[in-house]
Amino acid sequence: MKSILLQKQWSWLLSGFMLGMSFLLAVVLVKPIGVSTQYPIVDGILWEQVQPDLVTENGENKSGYGSSNAYFNENGGKYAAAIAKPLTYGLVFVLAMILGGFVARITQRSGQPELYTPSMVSSELNSMRLKRLQRVFVGGFLALLGARLAGGCTSGHMMSGMMQTSLSGFLFAAAAFAAAIPMALYLYGREE
């Protein structure tokens, strides 16, 4: 048996255990895992390059920073502060996640790297690359618009939320699956 670090894919039980450990360790050591907040933060960091006065120091806000943008100014300027000083726990965590995906990929090198989901050999996903890219673009757009409206995504609401038994986590998970299942069946249902 290969070391679990080198297995291409973990069994569902090991997968579940490791997922649970990730979320539990994060709460025990720091705070619940969340990802989607960093998307508008990165937007803000980019936006600031073209409009330097997007975020300004503001003594009235709890964070000491404020913004002309209502969203960044919310919660005592928490997001404005994260844009002004981007080396935050949240952003570093998300960057480390990308690196984690890279490291894991190295340990599973065998055969072709999957660039455009070619493993779905017999489906449209693979045969029509343009269609795939359109779907992934619109999907990304909707997913982040929704995540920001909801105040969290699959990580923050569904996993971190439900493990704390938060009402919002259960509502979010129900709504997300209620939309995702019909969408996947509609777009990919008839394909083998």
Partner 1 sequence: MQIALAILLGLFFGFTLQKVGAANPVKIIDMLRFRDLHLMKAILFGIGFAMIGLFVLLHFEVLNVASHLSVKSAYTGVIVGGVLLGAGWGMAGFCPGTGLVGLGAGRRDAWVFLIGGLLGAFLYTLIYGWIKGSFLFTTIGGGKSTLAVTGNKAFPALFPDIPGYILGCGIGAGFILVSLLLPVLKKRRVQTGVEESVPQDTTKETPAG
| 110 contacts 119 by C-beta, under 8 angstroms | no
Q: Does 45 bind partner 1 (CB under 8 A)?
A: no
Place of tokens 């890279």: 102
Task: Check: CB of residue 187 under 8 Å from CB of residue 135.
Answer: yes
For residue 52 the two structure tokens come to 């330097």
171: contact with partner 1 by CB under 8 A: yes
Per rule CB under 8 A, is residue 62 in the interface with partner 1?
no
Site for partner 1 in 88-147 (CB under 8 A): 89-90, 92-105, 108, 113-117, 119-130, 132-133, 135-147
Q: Is residue 9 at the binding interface for partner 1, with CB under 8 A as the rule?
A: yes
- The three-class DSSP label of residue 33 is coil
Sequence length of the chain is 192
CA geometry: angle 157, 17, 96, nearest 5 deg: 60
Question: Would you count residue 75 as binding partner 1 (CB under 8 A)?
Answer: no
Residue closer to partner 1 by CB (options 56, 96) is 96
Q: Which is nearer to partner 1, 57 or 136 (CB)?
A: 136
Size of the site for partner 1 (CB under 8 A): 130
